[in-house]
Amino acid sequence: MPKPFIPQRPVIVAYPKKLEALAEGEAIAEHLKARGVVAPCGSLYDEALRKRVQQGEFDLLVVVGGDGSMLRAGHLCAPANLPILGVNLGRIGFLIQIEREDWRAYFEKLFNGEAWIENRMMLNASHVRGGAEIGNWNALNEVVVGRGQNLRPVRFTAFVDGLQLTSYVADGLIAATATGSTAYALAAGGPILPPELRNILLVPIAPHLSVDRAVVLSEGASVTIKINGENAIISIDGQPPTPLLEDDLINIRAADVTAQFVRFGDAGYFYRNLTAHMNENSLGLPR
């Protein structure tokens, strides 16, 4: 069993577009205060609070929101080596173990030493044009090279460790982490990977007369995507796209930082959580 984790200096952030998330965050802060633990509470996008996180003032970030908030928190916290605990107020919550009505019980477990830290690989993507790097990002879910506003497919070639894998004519290519295997990659027909894996998953999007199967690369492998035409963009974890030009290169590898999630119970939580959500969707239940 991993080493127990008991925080001493937590901070609480909430998704600001949900008033109920901010209210729930304040309720958590009051609950912790009653236990003698003072935890600031504010918006996930509060620049002053984010700066304090980046400066290493806290030892736990509690996120009240959904999977999107967890992604944003991962980008913020990974460079600061700060663990994240999610409380789900979103629609699905693949990344979150605690539902809104259960957080009081889980905080008891947390301070009783029943929590542990799960490390998840992130990706680093660099955008190179004419031999110069003009963009660099870390991704928790995926890096997507795809078509822009035009409906025409894009043409690109994928290389693994400098060796050509294949050329594609497709709507795009997803380079995903194990975490991202339950996100866009899953919707595009890719396999589900256990969260502890450090492999890059490549999934083509609507390929035309091209390789149409997902590929799981060896741990430590790197990927280069060369753009062979116009109309291409890159998007990191669903963020607004950046236009790409012909002959641009996107270099993708495992990032030097990891996202750390606070977990409870055994590692089988992932499969129980996954099965529950997949069954809900298969029944067509409203979210």
Residue 56 counted as domain residue? yes
Q: How many distinct structural domains can be found in the chain?
A: 2
Is residue 156 located within the same domain as residue 175? Answer: yes
Question: 69 lies in which domain range?
Answer: 10-114+265-282
Is residue 153 located within the same domain as residue 183? Answer: yes
Residue 40 counted as domain residue? yes
Is residue 97 located within the same domain as residue 180? Answer: no
What is the pLDDT at residue 260? 97
**Verdict on whether the full-model pTM lies above 0.75:** yes
CATH, residue 197:
2.60.200.30
- From residue 86, give the alpha-carbon distance in Å to each of 62, 97, 145, 249, 261: 6, 7, 29, 35, 8
What is the pLDDT at residue 280? 59
Q: What is the mean pLDDT of each run of 10 residues along the chain (287 residues)?
A: 83 93 96 96 97 97 96 97 95 87 96 95 98 98 93 95 96 97 95 96 94 95 96 96 97 98 88 72 40
Is residue 16 located within the same domain as residue 93? Answer: yes
Catalytic residue status for 266: no
Residue 3 counted as domain residue? no
Active-site residue, from 46, 59, 67, 171 = 67
Give the pairing of strands 132-139 and 154-160: unpaired
Cα 78 from Cα 62, distance rounded (Å): 14
Residue 4 counted as domain residue? no
Query: Do residues 237 and 71 lie in contact, with contact meaning Cβ atoms separated by under 8 Å?
Result: yes
Residue 2 counted as domain residue? no
Residue 191 counted as domain residue? yes
Assign 242 to helix, strand or coil. Answer: strand
Is residue 164 located within the same domain as residue 43? Answer: no
Residue 23 counted as domain residue? yes
Is residue 269 located within the same domain as residue 252? Answer: no
CATH, residue 86:
3.40.50.10330
What is the pLDDT at residue 1? 55
